[in-house]
Amino acid sequence: MNYQSISGRGDSQTRRRGENIIVHDWSLLRVTESLCPSDWSASVLACNQRAARIEKSKRGRLRSSVRCAVRVAASPALRVALTCSLLLSAYCLPARAQPGVPQPNSPLYGGGLNQGQTATGLPPALKKVGIDQRLNEQLPLDAVFKDEHGSEVRLGQFFNGKPVVLSLVYYTCPMLCNQVLNGMLGSFRQMSFNAGEQFEVVTVSFDTKETPQLAAAKKQTYIAGYNRPNAAAGWHFLTGDDANVKRLTEAVGFRYTWDEQTRQFAHASGIMIATPEGKLARYFYGIDYPPKDLRLALVEASANKIGTPVDALMLYCYHYDPSTGKYGVVIMNVIRLAGVITIILIAGLLLLLRRIGRRRMIVSQAQA
């Protein structure tokens, strides 16, 4: 008996259900070929039951897999790993990003190679820029600039008995200058010193075409991000003409050039620390200025007029390295300091033991 003779008999609805199962399962088709017509309903029922068991088994395996995945995801080790991954990804985001301040966007520094540039060389514009240290050189305090209100000011007005953080940027810079200002803002926010109280900040644009209106807009952005008392009176944004800008940039060793291809200024990144008398004391390169190093530089530039005794002790153990622009540990000074502390502790212990011995002697004499 074949499948065609069987399919011609029995209830049509039952047969259709049976065909839908048997046609798609050839192993069941071979079984039903040996059945007689009276066994058709039983065979269809058996096929339906087997298909239901298979489907139920598949759903069970799927639910089991999902439960296993949930248990694994809920394990403490995986939760710790996921947390660490999230923290690491957050930490690896640009560190200089500050809420509400401009972010970088420049083909000159971060947008790939310029036309004609080899993979191992610098862009031609960047070969002419840099910052040459002029430690102990005098700044031109008589140079005249315009503040963010458009009023003429002398550079020396901001050197009034406090150390000064000096930065050279231009306000329409699409990338590096924003990074310099963001780095300054991040360090200032982590220090206990306040701009306008313990130190002054002077930011000067070396683009002589920029206006006090641009300076005012930039100042508003960064003063809002700094959010400290008297910040507006302590952080100054200046513009100037060719002669005065040239005097200042040459005095601090700041070399820059105009890149016609990108229509931008090519320049290096860094800030300077000056004494209250206007002499260059420290240079910090790059866009990241560690708050500890910046604080020590301000304390040192002020001749210890600001800061705490702890700062003076730190200056004894840390020494400024002009080649790196950072403070490093002076091993011999640390050893000397450790030796002095050890001697003081030993002397104190001997005095304590002597007093204890005298008390015991007095007690024993009294008992006798």
Query: What confidence score (pLDDT) does residue 351 get?
Result: 81
* pLDDT tens by residue, 293-302: 899 889 888 8
* pLDDT tens by residue, 42-76: 554 565 666 667 666 666 666 666 565 545 444 55
What's the CATH code of the domain at 137? 3.40.30.10
**How sure is the predictor about 303, in pLDDT bands with cuts at 50, 70 and 90?**
confident
**Residue 263 near residue 207, CB atoms below 8 Å:** no
Query: Is residue 317 located within the same domain as residue 360?
Result: no
Looking at the predicted structure, is the pLDDT value of residue 151 above 70?
A: yes
Looking at the predicted structure, is the pLDDT value of residue 104 above 60?
A: no
**How sure is the predictor about 15, in pLDDT bands with cuts at 50, 70 and 90?**
very low
Looking at the predicted structure, is the pLDDT value of residue 94 above 70?
A: no
Looking at the predicted structure, is the pLDDT value of residue 202 above 90?
A: yes
* pLDDT tens by residue, 260-300: 888 889 999 999 999 999 999 999 999 999 998 899 889 88
Average of pLDDT values for 318-335? 58
Q: Quick check: is 81 in a domain?
A: no
Average of pLDDT values for 192-212? 95
Query: Is residue 176 located within the same domain as residue 273?
Result: yes
For the ranges 63-77, 79-93, 227-241, the maximum mean pLDDT occurs at 227-241
Q: Among 286, 304, 322, where does a domain finish?
A: 322
Query: What confidence score (pLDDT) does residue 152 get?
Result: 96
Query: Is residue 271 located within the same domain as residue 151?
Result: yes
> Strand 130-131 vs strand 254-259: parallel, antiparallel, or unpaired?
antiparallel
Looking at the predicted structure, is the pLDDT value of residue 318 above 80?
A: no
Q: Alpha-carbon distance 298 to 313, whole Å?
A: 14
Tokens of residue 248, six digits:
């200042």
Query: Is residue 12 located within the same domain as residue 62?
Result: yes
Query: Is residue 212 located within the same domain as residue 301?
Result: yes
Where is average pLDDT lowest: 172-181, 228-237, 241-250, 340-349? 340-349
Give which of 238, 244, 215 is closest to 146, Cα–Cα.
Answer: 238
Average pLDDT value over all residues in the chain? 74
Query: Is residue 292 located within the same domain as residue 152?
Result: yes
Looking at the predicted structure, is the pLDDT value of residue 323 above 80?
A: no
Query: Is residue 269 located within the same domain as residue 339?
Result: no
The model carries a pTM of 0.57
Average of pLDDT values for 251-267? 90
Q: Quick check: is 94 in a domain?
A: no
Query: Is residue 316 located within the same domain as residue 362?
Result: no
Q: Quick check: is 99 in a domain?
A: no
Q: Quick check: is 219 in a domain?
A: yes
Average of pLDDT values for 26-44? 46
Q: For residues 41 and 204, which has the higher predicted lDDT (pLDDT)? A: 204
Query: What confidence score (pLDDT) does residue 304 get?
Result: 62
Where is average pLDDT lowest: 14-28, 102-116, 245-259? 14-28
Query: What confidence score (pLDDT) does residue 37 get?
Result: 44
Query: Is residue 135 located within the same domain as residue 68?
Result: no
Domain with 211, as residue range(s), is 124-322
Count how many domains the chain has: 3
Q: Alpha-carbon distance 184 to 200, whole Å?
A: 12
- Bridge partners, residue 165, by sequence: 201, 273
